[in-house]
Structure 1
Amino acid sequence: MRERELYKCRTLQLQDAVAARQAAACLAAIGIRSLPLPPMRRLVVSYSLLTHTLQHILLQLQACQIPLHDNALQHWHLKLLVFSEEVQLSNLSTPAPDTKGVQAFSRLYQHHPHGDYDDTPEELRHER
């Protein structure tokens, strides 16, 4: 996985403009960078997946009693994002598959007989 895929930027839709400012202050307390957009009732959050997850951010907002916009589409979108981050984190802990390099296959190929191989005994070849 490339390193840039570990940095996330998410936009959360909040209940009102006051909630956007409060959410920014709440997340700043735990070291998460955010940009409140009060006129649009949104909060833009950026974080590294190695230190924080979207689920951790949502739990922090819930602990600070900051309501998200009650929208079914946003609810399912956030669930999908949380799931995808969990999969990314589990893939980070999975070791790389053990594959042979090109050199191993070329060495095997060099030891096999090449060309037209006839397994007919030598004495029968001359009788034809």
Structure 2
Amino acid sequence: MINPFETQKERELFFTDSPAGQVERALELLTGLYEFKVERGTQANSLRINYDIQHYSLEGLEHALVDEGFRFEDNALRKLGRKLIYYCEDVQYHNLKMPEWQTKTRGREIFVKVYEHHSHGDHDETPKELRDFK
């Protein structure tokens, strides 16, 4: 089962100062997206976005905005942070698409097979006909 709190992401986009008005244009553009929240960020050149990775990824959103002419801050720390987020979201998205193991139905099967292949603690080397002899 997918936990919706694990798929909800909150990120902040940092735009360059030029061209002027990028933040307002991006706010206008992103406001109409399905299951997507956008608001002004903590700094004048930023927007805070909230989305579900089942529908969006930071990499996809940023590439779409760059195609529309927007420019993001490109210092080394921001670049590294974005690349790490891209990777983590990609891995999480693909893990969500993996089928879930049916351990409850197969659990007994698994333990029976392991038990059959391992020696047991009460193993007796005495031949069977001599064990019952008294």
- The TM tier, using the shorter chain, reads 0.7 to 0.9
Give the unaligned 5+ runs of structure 1.
none
Using a 3 Å threshold, how does the CA distance of structure 1 residues 39 and 2 change in structure 2: closer, same or farther? closer
- 2:101 matched residue in structure 1: 97
Task: Say what the alpha-carbon RMSD is for the aligned residues.
Answer: 3.3
Give the unaligned 5+ runs of structure 2.
none
Whether 1:71 aligns to 2:75 is yes
Deviation at 1:34, TM superposition (A): 0.8
Whether 1:14 aligns to 2:15 is yes
Instruction: Please identify, of 18-27 and 41-50, the stretch whose mean Cα deviation from structure 2 is larger.
Output: 18-27
Whether 1:120 aligns to 2:123 is no
Residues 59-106 of structure 1 show CA distances to partners (whole Å, capped at 9, x for unaligned) of 221122111112121112111111111101110111223544258637
Give the letter for the 1:101 counterpart. G
- Superposition pairs of residues 31-110 of structure 1, within 5 angstroms: 31=34, 32-37=36-41, 39-97=43-101, 99=103, 100-101=106-107, 105=111
Using a 3 Å threshold, how does the CA distance of structure 1 residues 125 and 6 change in structure 2: closer, same or farther? closer
Whether 1:23 aligns to 2:30 is no
- Percent identity over paired residues: 24
Equivalent position SS for 1:40: coil
Equivalent position SS for 1:56: helix
Contact kept? 1:18, 1:38, Cα under 8 Å: no
Residues 33-52 of structure 1 show CA distances to partners (whole Å, capped at 9, x for unaligned) of 21123853111010011111
Deviation at 1:124, TM superposition (A): 9.2
Using a 3 Å threshold, how does the CA distance of structure 1 residues 117 and 45 change in structure 2: closer, same or farther? same
Q: Which has the larger radius of gyration?
A: 1
Please give the TM-score of this superposition, normalised by the length of structure 1. Answer: 0.75
- 2-structure distance, mates of 1:36, 1:121: 80
How many residue pairs get aligned? The number is 124
- 2-structure distance, mates of 1:124, 1:78: 70
Please give the TM-score of this superposition, normalised by the length of structure 2. Answer: 0.72
